[in-house]
Structure 1
C-alpha cells in the first residue's frame, strides 16, 4: 500500500471533484461536501496548523463527534506529517490528562463547548497544551481563555497562507511515506493507564483494502458515521475504508437523531456493536406487544416462517419453492416494512463485533433479509483479522482469516495473529510492545479460542480471565466468565452481567436489567415502579431474571467443559454500570476487577450465603454533579442442573 491518506484525498479530488465525499445534517437539512471541497478545506486547515506551529511527528488531539471539519482536521494533521490522536468525546476530563501528557500534546481540536470545558479543566495538569480550536461556537462567545479560538480563524489564516504559498500543501503531502505514523489510538484498557497504539498509513490502509475486497465495497456505498471517532472500528469503517474506496460518509445531526438519520440515509454498509442491534430489536418487540391483536398475530406468524426459512435463503441454501414464495409474501407484508422502519432497506453488508451476539438476535436479522455478519479484530490489528463470508455467517464464530492474515493457537489456547495490519508498537512503552509482539511478528491477542472444522475462528474468553473453580463439587472445573456473561446478556431483559468464580467454589453473578425492556414488561403487567432502583428490586423482576439464569444453567449443563460454570446465586444491581463511574471502559467492556473492589460487600454477600445486603454507591450525574444511590439488594439462589453426559 504505497500511499497515504492525504494522497488518496487528492486522488479522489482530482478524479471525482464534484462527487459527494461527506454529508452532514445541520438544522434538519443534509449539507454535502464534495471531494474537491474537502481537499480545499483540508489544505486551509493544514496551512493554518503549519502557521500555528504544528510540526512533523507532533501529536494533535481531536475530541468530538463525527463532523466534516473533524475529518478534515485529521487529514490536515496527516498532510503535515503530524499524528492525530482522537479521544472519546464522552470521556471525563480527568481521563484526558494521561493521553495529552503522554503524547506531549500542544494543540487540540474540540467540537463544542463540552469538549472545550474538559480541555480547559485539565490545562493546569497539562501545561504544554497551548492552543485549542473549537468548531461549534455556541456557548463560547464570552470565553476569554489564552490560546482558545474558533477553527474559522485557523481556516482564514490557512487560506491566506495557501494563496501566498500554493505549492506548500502538495509538497508537504509528498514528504509523507506509507510507513510514517498515521494515527494513534488509546486503548480503553480494563486495568491501568491506557496504551497508545501506533499505526502507520500502510497498516491501516492495508486492512481497510483487505476488508473492502472481501465484501466488494465500491465508491457507491453509503455509510452513517455515528460511533466515536476515537474507536478504531469507527476510524476504519468511516475513515480508512472511506478514503480507500471513495464512498460517502454521512454524519448525523446529533446522538439523539441517529435513528431518524439512519432511515433517511439508508446506508448500504453498516456497523454496530451487539448492544445497538439488541436495542433496535427490543424497540421492535415493545412496539409489537403494544400493537393490535391482528397486527401482532401477523407479525409473529411471519417471524416463525422467517426464522425457519430466512437464514437458509441468506446462506443461498436450497429452500422449497412454497417456502420461498411464503417468505416473499412475508417480505411484502412484514420484513420489508420492518427493514425500512429500522433504516436497513438498502443495507448490503452489516457487521457487528466487540462482544458475542445472541443466536436468536443474529437469526432475527438474517431471517428478515439483513446480511448481518461478525468480524474479529482489535485496535492493535487495525480491526480486520477474521470476517464471515456472506453464506457462512454464524452466531458462534467470528469468521475466517482474510487476505494476509495468519492465525495460530498457542499451547495455552491463546490466539496469535500475524498480519500486515499489526501495530508499529505502543507509544513510549517498549516493554508492553515486547509483551504482545514476538520477534518473528506474531501478535498475542490475549483471547482464548480455536479454529473449528470449517476454518472459522471461535473465541471463548480472554486468556487471563479463564480460570478454575476451587473447592466444592466442581473443584477444578473450567470457568470462563465472559462466556457466562454473554449467554445471560443474550436475553433482552438483561443488559449487563459481571460473573465471579475463579478460585471460588461456585459461580455468582451481578446483573443489570435493561430498564426499557423490563420497564415495558412491568407496565404491561400493571406493576408500578419509581425508577431503576425500585424496578430492579421487585420480586417479580427477580423471578424474571431467575428464569433467564436457569435457562442458561440448563444450557451449560450440556457443555462438557463448562457444566461447572452454572450460576448458583445472583443479585440485581441498584444502578446501571457506567463508564463515568469507572465500571465500564469507554467501549462498554466490564471492568471486572474494579467492580469487585468497588462492590466488595456485594461479592462477599453472594459467597457468604446472605440473602440481602445494603449498599451505598457514589455516582456521577450527566451534569457533572456527584451523589449517591443506596438500596438493600436481594440475593437469590438458582437451580443447578446435573451435567448432561454425551451418549456413548
Structure 2
C-alpha cells in the first residue's frame, strides 16, 4: 500500500508519518546520497531505523522532551535523521545555515538555548570550539564526518554521529517499545522545528513550526500540482531555509517521493543531470544562473548554431505566451514548436537534467519576465510562488495554464488572503506557524487572530492573482512626495543578464540612485569577447567599457519607468555584496539599511555632484581573516554619455 497525500495525513506528526510509511512502504526508496561517485539508496525502512537509533541515542545522552537540538550541516541524510529523531522524542530541531560565521552561530544557539548541536565536519566543529564559552547551554556536539577529528579525541564535549547511533541501537534492544510511546505522545500542533527568518531588518527570529504546518503544505500543494511516489527531488538548497524544509520534509513525507542528496554543493548541478528530478524549487538566482550558463555556451559556439538557436528560441517564446495563458496555439506555431522541441529544446533540457521535470517553482524574489518566458519556451513548467518562513514557504502559486510573470498566482487550497487598509498582505491557513520563539511582542504584532501580517504591500487583480509590491517598511518617498518601491526598480535592473544585484536609494532625496553589482560571469564573458583584459572583480567593474554597457541597461530600464522613478546616478560597486559581510541575509536578501550605513560616503557622493569617491573597505572571510582594500569609485550618470579620461562618468 502506498500512502497518498490526502488531508487525512494532517492528523499525524512528522515522525508518526515516517513510521507509517516505513510500515507500509518498507522497501521503497526514500533517500539517495551520492558518495565517491555512487548513488546509495535508503529505503523507508532504513530511514526510520536510523531516525529511531538517533532518537534512542539522544535519550542516552540525557536529551529531554522540549529541549532544542541545532543542526549545522550541508544537505546530507543525517540532517533528516537528526531532525526527525529529535522530534520523535518530543524535542525541537533548529536549522543553522552551514555558511554562518561563529558570531552568527553563537547568536542562534544562545537565542534558542540549544542543548545539543549536530555539526557536519571539522570546519563546523572548529566554529563551535571558537565560541564554546559563549554557548553554555550546549552540553554535547555530535559530529557526522570523522575526517580530521582525530586530534579532538578525548574531549567529552564531542561525540561522533556513528557513536550516537550505536548507543541508540543498544538502548532500543533494552527498551524496544519506549520510542513508539514517545512518538505516540506527539500532537500535530506541537512545535517541532525552529526556522530562522531572513533577518533583513535585524537579527533573525526563529519561527516555531508545527507538525501540521509542514504536512498541510505537503498535502495542499500536491492537491493542485500532483507528484508521484516514484518521483525524484534533488536537495541542494540549505536545510535551514524554509523552502528546503518544505520540500525535503513536508512535501516528501506527505507525497512519498525520493529526496536525493548531491555529493557536495559544488557538484549539485552535475548531480542534478544524473538524477533528472521531476520537481525543483529554487530562488531566482539559480534559474538566472542556469540561463546565464546557456547564454555563455551559445555565445561560444559556431555562427550557424547561434542563428538556429535564436530562430528556434523566437518560436519558443511565441509558444510560451500561449502555454502560460492556457490558450491553444495556432496550427502553424504548433508545427514550428514541435520541430524546435525535437531539434533543440528536448536535447537542451536533457543536458540540463530537466528532461523529466514536471513541476518547477521559483520564489524569494521576482524573476524577470524574459527569464520566465525563456523557461516556458524550452518546455520547463516554471511557476512563481509567494510565501514566507511564517507560512511554510508557499501561500500563493500559479496554476497550470494561468502563469503570469507579473504576479505570484492565487492562494493554495485551504488558504485565505486579505489586503488591509494600509495595503498589507494578510494570510491565513493551517500553514501559519505558532509564532516566534521567545518573542511574544513580535508574535502578537505579526500574528493576530490567526492572520499572518506579512509586512509586504500588494494587491489582488481581477482574476484573483496577487501582485507583491515591496516590504511595507521599505516603501519610500522622494523629496517631492512621490511614493516608490525600491524593490520594484531593483528587480527591473536585475532582469538584465549583466546585473547580478542592485540596491536603490532615494528616500526623501531629490532623485533616485543605485548601487549595481555586475554579473562576473556574463560581463566577464562579454569583456573577453571584446578583448578587454581584466584581473579581478574590482578591475572588471571599474572598466569604462563596462560602465557604458551597464549605462545602456539602466537607460533601458528608465525608458519603461515614470519620470519620478528613473535612476539619475549610479555606481558599479567594486565588490559583490556578501552575506559574510552582513550585506545580504543568508537567503540572499539585501540588508538595505546596513548597506546604506556601510557605504555612506558613496551614497553621499551620489547626491553630492562629485565624479569620483575614494573608499576603503574590509573583506571578511569564513576563516575569520580580513582583507583591507582601497579603491576609487566613479559616479556614473544614467541620462547621457560623457567620454573623458576617467571613463564614463557623471557630467
Settle same-fold status: TM greater than 0.5.
yes
Offset, 1:315: 4.3
Deviation digits for residues 15-38 of structure 1, max 9, x if unmatched? 111100000000010000000011
Matches for 1:290-439 after TM superposition, within 5 Å: 290-313=300-323, 315-438=325-448
Structure 2 CA distance for aligned equivalents of residues 245 and 355 of structure 1: 26
**C-alpha contact 1:314 1:369 (8 A) present in aligned 2:** no
Offset, 1:220: 2.1
Offset, 1:623: 4.0
Structure 1 CA distance for aligned equivalents of residues 560 and 300 of structure 2: 31
Residue 529 of structure 1: aligned partner: 534
Offset, 1:155: 0.5
Deviation digits for residues 109-145 of structure 1, max 9, x if unmatched? 0111111111111111112212111111111121133
Work out whether 1:546 is the aligned partner of 2:564.
no
Work out whether 1:120 is the aligned partner of 2:126.
no
Structure 2 CA distance for aligned equivalents of residues 585 and 314 of structure 1: 32
- Aligned match for 2:458, one of 436, 449, 455: 449
Q: Where do 5+ consecutive residues of structure 1 fail to align?
A: 558-562, 641-648
Structure 2 CA distance for aligned equivalents of residues 118 and 623 of structure 1: 9
Residue 237 of structure 2: aligned partner: 227
Deviation digits for residues 148-170 of structure 1, max 9, x if unmatched? 11111101110100011111121
Offset, 1:622: 4.6
Work out whether 1:165 is the aligned partner of 2:165.
no
Matches for 1:36-435 after TM superposition, within 5 Å: 36-144=45-153, 145-313=155-323, 315-435=325-445
**C-alpha contact 2:88 2:182 (8 A) present in aligned 1:** yes
Residue 646 of structure 2: aligned partner: none
Structure 2 CA distance for aligned equivalents of residues 326 and 310 of structure 1: 13
Offset, 1:266: 0.4
Residue 12 of structure 2: aligned partner: 3
Structure 1 CA distance for aligned equivalents of residues 186 and 323 of structure 2: 48
Give the direction of change, closer, same or farther, for the CA distance of 1:181–1:622 in structure 2 (3 Å limit).
Answer: closer
Residue 487 of structure 2: aligned partner: 482
Offset, 1:492: 0.7
Task: Tell me the SS of whatever aligns to 2:400.
Answer: coil
Task: Tell me the SS of whatever aligns to 1:303.
Answer: helix
Task: Tell me the SS of whatever aligns to 2:339.
Answer: helix
Task: Tell me the SS of whatever aligns to 1:179.
Answer: coil
Structure 1 CA distance for aligned equivalents of residues 78 and 214 of structure 2: 21
Structure 2 CA distance for aligned equivalents of residues 3 and 313 of structure 1: 38
Offset, 1:584: 0.4
Which shifted more, 116-125 or 79-88?
A: 116-125
Deviation digits for residues 247-268 of structure 1, max 9, x if unmatched? 1000000011111110000000
Residue 518 of structure 2: aligned partner: 513
Deviation digits for residues 447-474 of structure 1, max 9, x if unmatched? 011001111000011111111101xxxx
Offset, 1:314: 5.1
Runs of 4+ in 1 over 4 A off after TM superposition: none
Residue 645 of structure 1: aligned partner: none
Which shifted more, 565-574 or 99-108?
A: 99-108
**C-alpha contact 2:325 2:404 (8 A) present in aligned 1:** no
- State the TM-score, normalized to the length of structure 2: 0.95
Structure 2 CA distance for aligned equivalents of residues 261 and 623 of structure 1: 28
Work out whether 1:492 is the aligned partner of 2:497.
yes
Which shifted more, 410-419 or 371-380?
A: 410-419
- State the TM-score, normalized to the length of structure 1: 0.96
State the Cα RMSD in Å. 1.1
Structure 1 CA distance for aligned equivalents of residues 427 and 320 of structure 2: 34
Structure 1 CA distance for aligned equivalents of residues 249 and 213 of structure 2: 14
Which shifted more, 614-623 or 45-54?
A: 614-623
Structure 1 CA distance for aligned equivalents of residues 131 and 13 of structure 2: 33
Structure 2 CA distance for aligned equivalents of residues 133 and 311 of structure 1: 52
Residue 600 of structure 1: aligned partner: 600
Residue 643 of structure 1: aligned partner: none
Residue 507 of structure 2: aligned partner: 502
Structure 2 CA distance for aligned equivalents of residues 529 and 491 of structure 1: 22
Offset, 1:322: 2.0
Work out whether 1:34 is the aligned partner of 2:65.
no
Structure 1 CA distance for aligned equivalents of residues 319 and 381 of structure 2: 14
Residue 646 of structure 1: aligned partner: none
**C-alpha contact 1:448 1:461 (8 A) present in aligned 2:** yes
Task: Tell me the SS of whatever aligns to 1:226.
Answer: coil
**C-alpha contact 1:574 1:630 (8 A) present in aligned 2:** no
**C-alpha contact 1:314 1:367 (8 A) present in aligned 2:** no
Structure 2 CA distance for aligned equivalents of residues 207 and 316 of structure 1: 26
Offset, 1:588: 0.5
Offset, 1:215: 0.5
Q: Where do 5+ consecutive residues of structure 2 fail to align?
A: 1-9, 641-651
Which shifted more, 139-148 or 413-422?
A: 139-148
Structure 2 CA distance for aligned equivalents of residues 211 and 530 of structure 1: 47
**C-alpha contact 1:22 1:34 (8 A) present in aligned 2:** yes
Residue 643 of structure 2: aligned partner: none
Structure 2 CA distance for aligned equivalents of residues 549 and 315 of structure 1: 30
**C-alpha contact 1:575 1:629 (8 A) present in aligned 2:** no
Q: Give the number of aligned pairs.
A: 630
Task: Tell me the SS of whatever aligns to 1:256.
Answer: coil
Deviation digits for residues 196-230 of structure 1, max 9, x if unmatched? 11011112211221111121123122100000000
Task: Tell me the SS of whatever aligns to 1:142.
Answer: helix
Residue 6 of structure 2: aligned partner: none
Residue 556 of structure 1: aligned partner: 561
Structure 2 CA distance for aligned equivalents of residues 11 and 530 of structure 1: 57
Deviation digits for residues 520-551 of structure 1, max 9, x if unmatched? 00000000011100010001100111111111
Structure 2 CA distance for aligned equivalents of residues 247 and 577 of structure 1: 36
Structure 2 CA distance for aligned equivalents of residues 118 and 271 of structure 1: 30
Deviation digits for residues 419-464 of structure 1, max 9, x if unmatched? 11111111111100111112x2221111011001111000011111
Structure 2 CA distance for aligned equivalents of residues 553 and 49 of structure 1: 58
**C-alpha contact 1:310 1:327 (8 A) present in aligned 2:** no
Structure 2 CA distance for aligned equivalents of residues 44 and 604 of structure 1: 59
**C-alpha contact 2:323 2:401 (8 A) present in aligned 1:** no
Offset, 1:316: 3.6
Structure 2 CA distance for aligned equivalents of residues 338 and 482 of structure 1: 33
Task: Tell me the SS of whatever aligns to 2:33.
Answer: strand
Residue 5 of structure 2: aligned partner: none
